[in-house]
Structure 1
Amino acid sequence: MMEHQFLSIEQLDQQLKQWNGKHIKIEKIELTDKDEIHMNLTDIAYESHTRRLDQYEAMHTLILNGEGEIQSSQGYQPLPDASYEIPLEDTSLYEFDGEQFLLTTDRGVYRISLES
């Protein structure tokens, strides 16, 4: 097992792209909210929002593309756009421990791991 390490956004991108074609689980943990997403990752993309309307709009967005489903109180629902977006800020932290990625943002923590 690799040791726990902090990553730059470029390192995150390189390592996450190695999971293309694999089934992943994304757990989003916010203050009172927890979502679990299962998806077959096909591609990774980024968007930058240089002209933000307000501070709630993220500076950057990591877009995980692929068919999947999100667990809600009603059970599993298909992802609406076959993608899942994670808002990123310049202050976001990216960590990897050899088995899972942890992305810590102003809004919450996202854990991305391979489905076993």
Structure 2
Amino acid sequence: MTLTSTELSEWLKAQIGQTLDIRKGELTNNQDDISDLDQIVLHLNEVAIRSTKHPDDYVANDELVLEGKGTTFTEEGNVPLPENAYEIPLSGSIHIHQENGGLKVLTDRAVYTIDIQQN
């Protein structure tokens, strides 16, 4: 099922108190290949949409902000999530689909897979 960004925000708000497993893959120029895969585990405390006006086209005017304590898993090691927040830029065309109890969010620049961790 395809969702809107408002429905994405509502779905995430329903997950407050849960631990999310977020995987982000940067899309290459041809939009088919994924590079630079990141994994974040976040205990979700709050969800907000932040709007800003920025002169640089590379910076999104709207972003989904997931607040909570988390960890970023990288090849160099595990690091705490900066400022206890994770942002998903909402720019260009956005496609959101429910998959296996989680969500897949495809933007012009990246693909995000968001799953609820089972305890």
* TM-score with structure 2 setting the length: 0.87
The corresponding residue for 1:60 is: 62
Opposite residue 97 of structure 1, the aligned amino acid is E
Specify the SS of the correspondent of 1:67. Answer: strand
Aligned sequence identity (%): 33
| Counterpart mapping for 1:80-99 below 5 A | 80-99=82-101
Cα distance in 1, alignment partners of residues 75 and 99 from structure 2: 30
Q: Which runs of 5+ in 2 are unaligned?
A: 28-34
Q: For residues 20-76 of structure 1, what are the alpha-carbon distances to aligned partners after superposition, in whole Å with 9 as ceiling and x for unaligned?
A: 000111100113200000010001011112x22111011210000000000011221
Opposite residue 10 of structure 2, the aligned amino acid is Q
RMSD of equivalent CA atoms: 1.2
Opposite residue 46 of structure 1, the aligned amino acid is I
Q: Which runs of 5+ in 1 are unaligned?
A: none
| Counterpart mapping for 1:33-112 below 5 A | 33-49=36-52, 51-112=53-114
The corresponding residue for 2:11 is: 15
Q: CA deviation at 1:10?
A: 1.7
Specify the SS of the correspondent of 2:113. Answer: strand
Tell me which protein shows more strand as a share of its residues.
2
Given candidates 7, 17, 29, the residue that maps to 2:25 is 29
Cα distance in 2, alignment partners of residues 12 and 26 from structure 1: 14
Specify the SS of the correspondent of 1:113. Answer: strand
Structure 1 runs (4+) deviating above 2 angstroms are none
Cα distance in 1, alignment partners of residues 12 and 100 from structure 2: 11
